[in-house]
Amino acid sequence: MNAPVMTASPIAVPPEFQSCFDRQRAAYLAAPEPGHDERIADLKALSRLLKENREELVAAINADYGGRSEFETLFAEYFVVLETIADATRNLGKWMKPQKRHIDFKTYPLAKNRVIPQPLGLVGVIVPWNFPLNLSFCPLAAIIAAGNRAMVKMSENSQALAKVLMRITPNYFPAEKLVFFEDGGGRGPAFSSLPFDHLLFTGSGTTGRSVMANAARNLTPVTLELGGKSPAIVAPDFPIKTAAERILWVKMFNAGQICTNVDYMFLPRGKEDEFVDHCRRLFKARIPDINGADYTSIIDQRAFDRLTATLEDARAKGARIVNLADGQNADAKRRKFAPHVVIDPTEDMVVMQREIFGPILPIKTYSDRQEVADYVNARDRPLAIYPFTNDAGLRDFYISHVMSGGVSVNEALLHVGQHDLPFGGVGASGMGHYHAREGFNTFSKLRPVFYQGPFSPIQAFFQPPYAGRPMKILQMMLKMRG
């Protein structure tokens, strides 16, 4: 006797979600495969939306943060997104072209195989707050290039930006093709429960599990871009000063609120003080006042309090903590949090148990490479690893022995911005890829099609009864394959 199937209670879907979904579904069924010219026009419209509303969009992001560096918004959001759209526009014809595949059996004369990229239909996108333009428009470049329609839900911490996007997007796209929604009132589960043809979520692992569970109700495939604790590994041969310059830049950028940030690092034993001294000098030269416009605020009070508690937990449990801002303390009113290093953290400290998502850098020391590999491999697979070494053998050891979503060598973070590289996690840091051609493929159905020729060997030679000629031909075919 079969066990009863247990089903969860249905999630109530707001009318605005359902009506948009129904409208886009009907439009897809009426015109399921936009041509090359229409997709190019849509990509150009996406670019125009950003360019023609730049000041208002930048101001909205600044308002949501309560102080977001304009340079960081223009560099990490605008420049990267516009480059991504341009790359998709340049390569779209090549990506759309059907792929030729070999015929498997010699018994199929004049037949042919093709793989045809076709739009999936409706794609849902759930966007985090930390890079809200980048993490909505970079996926949209791939989604639109693949010929799909999209519904995009912004974060509850991106209310000002969401309102601007909701207002201006109809000037560039009909609701049948692209719609933005604001969050609030716990509407996330309802959004992820819609029967999309694909769902992309970027955010925490905890929320990602809930999103995947909601999507599973409809067997909706998901791409999850999560996070975790990505380590940097400074080898004995690598200059400490250079490592400090490159790692500190990443920890300062967006006040460390980046999923691919260096979450902790390994230094050769005895190099801690040299590294910290370089960081203190560099930070003073680059950010003389953490309350200035070049240093981004922590997104909200809850995150600010969490970072404060994380430092206090490490201090109470015996860690040595250094404020790199030379005594400038956290400003709770502006939510400006000075960067700190935590030297020799222990595993019972919160700073080593959760993704930090802020300007706090734990430093662990080590003696040999296997010690590092064993430590990282004993934990969830990270979204990235960052080996710093000029030794090719050591570099390749870490790449082959420590699995992660991506790798930057002698740098941190920058693999994410390479337009011809896919981006994605592995294990607890996520699943699936987007960016580059892999993004186009993710949001396409790579549909296999077999075209029979004028003569069908199956129909001619393999009809029952199988004894006699059909079996003899099959035995001959098996013999050919050894």
Q: Which residues are catalytic?
A: 225, 259
The CA-atom distances, in angstroms, between 361 and each of 243, 264, 281, 346, 371 are 13, 6, 16, 13, 20
DSSP-based three-state secondary structure for 234: strand
Select from 308, 312, 337 the least CA-distant residue to 324. Answer: 337
Neighbours of 192 (CB within 10 A): 25
Give the helix ranges, DSSP H, for 194-238. 205-216
Q: How far apart are CA 162 and CA 379, in angstroms?
A: 36
Q: 270: left (phi > 0), else alpha (psi -120 to 50), else beta?
A: left
Neighbours of 244 (CB within 10 A): 21
DSSP-based three-state secondary structure for 238: coil
Residues ≥6 apart with Cβ < 8 Å to 257:
130, 296, 298, 299, 303, 357, 358
The pairing of beta strand 112-119 with beta strand 99-101: antiparallel
Tokens of 1: 């006797």
Neighbours of 212 (CB within 10 A): 16
